[in-house]
Structure 1
Amino acid sequence: MPPTPSPQTTLGRSPFAGIALVVLSSWSLSTLDASGKWIMAVGLPLTFLCWVRFFVHIVLVLALIRPRSLSKLLQTQRPYAQVLRGIVMFSSTFTFFSALSYLPQAEATSINFLAPLIMLACAPWLLGEPPRLSRWLAALGGFMGILVIIRPGSGLDPIGVALGLCTALLFATQYLCTRRVAIDNPMTTMVWSGGVGATCMTLALPFTLPNAWPVLREFGVLEWSVLLSTGVWGALGHLMQIQAYRLAPASMLAPFIYLQIVAAAALGWMVWGDFPDALTWLGIAVVCGSGIAIGAVEWRRRPAPVPKAKVS
Structure 2
Amino acid sequence: MAPVLRAAVWMSGSIASFSAMAVAGREVSVQLDTFEVMMYRSLIGVIVVCTVAAVTGAWRRISCAHLGTHALRNLAHFTGQNLWFYAVTVIPLAQVFALEFTSPLWVIVLSPLILGERLTRMRAVAALMGFAGILIVARPDMAGINAGVVTAASSAIFFALTIMLTKRLTRTQGIMSILFHLTTMQLVFGLVAAGYDGDIAVPEPAVLPFVVVIGVAGLLAHYCLTNALAIAPATVVVPIDFIRLPAIAVIGMLVYGEIVDVWVFVGALVIFAGNYLNLMSETRKTQ
Are 2:126 and 1:133 equivalent residues in the alignment? no
Match for 2:180 among 191, 200, 225?
191
- The Cα shift of 1:286 comes to 0.9
Runs of at least 5 residues in structure 2 that lack an aligned partner in the other structure:
none
Are 2:201 and 1:212 equivalent residues in the alignment? yes
Native 8 Å contact 2:7 2:231 kept in 1 = yes
Specify whether residues 252 and 186 from structure 1 end up closer, same or farther in structure 2 by C-alpha distance, changes over 3 A only. Answer: farther
Matched with 1:51 is: 39
Q: Give the SS at the match of 1:128.
A: coil
User: Which segments of structure 1 move beyond 6 Å, counting only runs of 4 or more?
Assistant: none
The residue correspondences of 1:35-74 to structure 2 (distance < 5 A) are 35-40=24-29, 42-66=30-54, 69-74=57-62
Matched with 1:202 is: 191
Native 8 Å contact 1:31 1:267 kept in 2 = no
The separation in 2 between residues aligned to 1:108 and 1:73, in whole angstroms, is 36
Specify whether residues 68 and 290 from structure 1 end up closer, same or farther in structure 2 by C-alpha distance, changes over 3 A only. Answer: closer
- CA deviation profile, 1:199-225 (whole Å, cap 9, x unmatched): 222345544672525xx4xx33x4221
Native 8 Å contact 1:21 1:240 kept in 2 = yes
Match for 2:165 among 141, 158, 177?
177
The separation in 2 between residues aligned to 1:196 and 1:154, in whole angstroms, is 39
The residue correspondences of 1:104-119 to structure 2 (distance < 5 A) are 104-119=92-107
Matched with 1:8 is: none
Native 8 Å contact 1:45 1:211 kept in 2 = no
- The Cα shift of 1:150 comes to 1.0
Larger radius of gyration: 1
RMSD: 2.3
The separation in 2 between residues aligned to 1:68 and 1:285, in whole angstroms, is 42
- Equivalenced residue count is 285
The residue correspondences of 1:145-184 to structure 2 (distance < 5 A) are 145-152=133-140, 155-156=143-144, 158-183=146-171, 184=173
Matched with 1:234 is: 218
The separation in 2 between residues aligned to 1:117 and 1:135, in whole angstroms, is 8
Runs of at least 5 residues in structure 1 that lack an aligned partner in the other structure:
1-12, 305-312
Specify whether residues 22 and 60 from structure 1 end up closer, same or farther in structure 2 by C-alpha distance, changes over 3 A only. Answer: same
Matched with 1:254 is: 238
- State the one-letter code of the partner of 1:39: V
The separation in 1 between residues aligned to 2:152 and 2:162, in whole angstroms, is 15
Specify whether residues 240 and 209 from structure 1 end up closer, same or farther in structure 2 by C-alpha distance, changes over 3 A only. Answer: farther
Specify whether residues 157 and 271 from structure 1 end up closer, same or farther in structure 2 by C-alpha distance, changes over 3 A only. Answer: farther
TM-score normalised by L of structure 2? 0.90
